[in-house]
Copies of this chain bind each other. A is one copy, B any other.
Amino acid sequence: MILGFLAEGPMHGYELRRRMEQLHGYAHPVSFGTLYPAIARLAAAGFVRQESGPGTASARRITLHLTDAGRAELYERLRTAEGTDITDGQRFMVLLAFLSMLPDKAERDAVLRRRLEFLSQPASFFYEDGHPLKADDISDPYRRGILVSARATSRAERDWLTAMLTAGAKEPS
């Protein structure tokens, strides 16, 4: 997320944090104790450059810039996304938010296809004797709610993914 937002332009850590929380729908807070060490790690790796603004030692203002290496790293992470980056809805959503930055359409489509493939394999959340329970078999109303919501979610996303993959089939880049 840090690399992605900085690819849109330089900004302060404080602004970065606001955007991160917005992208989560304010469902998850981003603390400074998480953010600043993360920025420091990216800076140490050479992906982010920290430019000191008009600041005193006590009240410093630092503008974060994405380096060329940082942009390359962003592309690489988008391209090679796998595992929980594909299967976990939250993580995939973060990926999607920056996927348009990946220049190669074939690579972007490949990411969408991996997600669609995962969503297409029939998944349940509750099992009995090894086989999945249908919504009708579940007596617990709350658990039935989980299945109902998950189905609607999966359906909506699969429809969108399918539309994306077919609609842009003939367009270049």
Contacts and interface: CB of A to CB of B under 8 A. Distances in A.
Contacts of A96: 142-143, 145-146
A26 B152 contact: no
Nearest to A102: B142
Contact of A89 (B22, B27, B152, B156): B27
A131 to B, nearest CB: 12
Interface string A122-135: 01111100000000
A153 interface: yes
Interface in A84-115: 84, 87-90, 93, 96-97, 99-100
A149 B160 contact: yes
Nearest to A132: B22
Contacts of A152: 152-153, 155-157
A148 interface: yes
Contact of A99 (B22, B127, B142, B160): B142
The 10 A-B residue pairs whose C-beta atoms are closest, nearest first, are A152-B156, A27-B87, A153-B153, A99-B142, A96-B142, A149-B157, A25-B123, A145-B160, A27-B88, A100-B140
